[in-house]
Amino acid sequence: MHGSGPFPEVVMLFMIWCFVGLCSLLFFRFNSNAVLKRRLWPVFMAATCLVFCGFFYLILSYQQPKLLYLLVSTQILTSVLSTRMTCFCDFCGKTFYRELFSANEAACPQCRAGLG
């Protein structure tokens, strides 16, 4: 903490994180272009991971540097798993998520179109 409040960088990164989250919610929820979503999802996950790690770097680097390594590695693992488990239907464009230890989805849960 800095004086009576958090560092300005922490506040700025938090605002960026909220803005990216809102934009991604709107885009991935309401856009039906599955090809574009597939192309942008890994970029979005990498950007979110960087902002999240930067946020915690500013908060924890001085007080708990070893905890920072755990948080960064956990965030990278979470981003990789999310990228691999997220699917986009080619027919209706719906974004949905497979379960971690289940077989691959055979059909879209919304339109029941077969997935490739």
Q: For the segment 49-66, what is each residue's pLDDT rounded down to a tens digit?
A: 888 888 788 777 777 778
Residue with tokens 């997220």: 86
Cα angle vertex 103, ends 74, 78, to 5°? Answer: 10
Q: Residue 1: which pLDDT band, with cuts at 50, 70 and 90?
A: very low
Residues 6 or more apart whose Cβ sits within 8 Å of residue 29: 95
pLDDT at site 115: 64
Query: How many Cβ atoms sit within 10 Å of the Cβ of residue 82?
Result: 16
Q: What is the pTM of this model?
A: 0.75
The SS3 call for residue 54 is helix
Residues 6 or more apart whose Cβ sits within 8 Å of residue 17: 48, 51, 52, 55
